[in-house]
């Protein structure tokens, strides 16, 4: 009978995050230590690529760490890696996706459009994934798109202790739009502070027409909480509105730093004093980009604990705040 064992691998876009997860795991494991499994990607002249494992995964529970932010090659590499593990006789394959790309395409909001989140869920299952781990889905109900177990982690697990450690006076939590009201309420409940709701109308995708704030803003140190920052258009306009209504300061906590297009410039030119994000997506490596307002709070320890508990068939409910 084959020995029950864990193998951890990472696709290219999440190698650094995977290394941090393994460091965290080796910090609390008492017995055998874990390592990042050996793999390679063969590139072809037409742009295609082929992932391969350079060590045996036969009979193992394989965790593959990869966030599926653009380009789409990141998603394709994850799918091919899952397929390769199943064809190499892995016992189970678990896709660890700190950022689940395409999650904003969770419904038909206009005629004749795709539901990308459901399609990605189907592709992960078709590739051979037995389980998915992810963090702060754009909408909780995306879990229902899967016919396999989903471990949905909340970044509040790291953000709320971090916010408490800052000892911010006259704190208020704000939602950047009506869709984030539930998240803002959960943060405010844990932090014992009031909630502000920003109501926005969009001219088109990634373009905000107007924002109004509902709630007591005067003299508050406001933290806007959201699941992601893309172009930062909504976030920075909300910050400007809150400052205009009398806020003492405005910060932001956003799980996934997509930060596309003019995002860095928008943040640097806005009323935001600080922006807290996680390492689900790496920040740009461009040294010419000013990242001084952006601070990273790591999810590595949280993912390390949940990976270990799932592998050992332990309950994970204690790892969730809301």
Is cis: bond before 130, omega within 30 of 0?
Answer: no
CA gap 260, 290 in Å, rounded = 14
Tell me if 63 sits within 8 A of 97, measured CB to CB: no
> Between the CA atoms of 59, 60, 65 and 66, what dihedral angle is there, to the nearest 10 degrees?
0
Report which of 213, 229, 215 is spatially closest to residue 276, judged by C-alpha positions: 229
The alpha carbon of residue 133 and the mean position of all alpha carbons in its chain are separated, in whole angstroms, by 10
Q: What are phi and psi of 75, to 5 degrees?
A: -65, -45
Rounded to whole angstroms, the Cα distance separating 147 from 184 reads 29
In angstroms, what is the C-alpha Rg of the chain?
20
- Residue 200 annotated in active site: yes
Answer for the pair 253, 168: CB distance below 8 angstroms, yes or no: no
Determine which one of 200, 220, 237, 305 is catalytic.
200
Q: How many helices (H) and strands (E) does the chain have?
A: 8, 14
Nearest C-alpha neighbor of 227 from the set 156, 285, 146: 156
- Buried-state track 174-193, b at ≥16 Cβ within 10 A, e below 16: bbbbeebeebbbbbbebbeb
d(CA 47, CA 302): 35
Secondary structure in 3-state letters for 223-271? EEEEEEECCCHHHHHHHHHHHHCCCCEEEEEEEEECCCCCHHHHHHCCC
Chain-centroid distance, C-alpha 25: 19
- Indicate which residues carry an active-site annotation: 200
């Amino acid at each position: 009978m084959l020995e029950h064992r864990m193998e951890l691998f990472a696709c290219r876009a999440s190698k650094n995050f995977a290394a941090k997860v393994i460091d965290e795991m080796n910090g609390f494991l008492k017995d055998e230590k874990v390592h990042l499994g050996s793999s390679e990607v063969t590139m072809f002249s037409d742009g295609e690529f082929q992932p391969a494992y350079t060590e045996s995964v036969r009979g193992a529970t394989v965790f593959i760490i990869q966030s599926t932010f653009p380009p789409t090659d990141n998603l394709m590499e994850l799918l091919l890696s899952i397929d390769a593990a199943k064809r190499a006789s892995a016992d189970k394959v678990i896709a660890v996706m700190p950022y689940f790309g395409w999650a904003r395409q969770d419904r038909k909001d206009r005629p004749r459009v795709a539901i990308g989140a459901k399609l990605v869920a189907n592709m992960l299952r078709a590739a051979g994934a037995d389980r998915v781990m992810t963090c702060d889905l754009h909408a909780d109900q995306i879990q229902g798109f899967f016919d396999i177990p989903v471990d949905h982690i909340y970044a509040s697990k790291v953000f709320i202790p971090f916010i408490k450690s800052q000892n911010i006076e006259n704190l208020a939590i704000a939602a950047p739009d009506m869709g984030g009201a539930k998240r803002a309420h959960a943060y405010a409940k844990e932090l014992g502070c009031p909630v502000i709701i920003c109501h926005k109308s969009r001219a088109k995708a990634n373009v905000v027409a107007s924002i109004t704030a509902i709630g007591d803003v005067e003299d508050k140190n406001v933290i806007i909480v959201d699941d992601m920052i893309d172009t930062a258009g909504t976030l920075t306009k909300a910050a400007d509105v809150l400052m205009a209504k009398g806020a003492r300061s405005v910060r932001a906590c956003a799980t996934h730093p997509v930060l596309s297009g003019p995002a860095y410039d928008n943040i640097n030119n806005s009323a935001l004093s600080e922006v807290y994000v996680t390492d689900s997506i790496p920040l740009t490596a461009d040294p010419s980009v000013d990242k001084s307002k952006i601070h990273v709070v790591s999810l590595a320890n949280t993912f390390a604990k949940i990976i270990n508990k799932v592998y050992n068939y332990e309950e994970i409910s204690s790892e969730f705040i809301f």
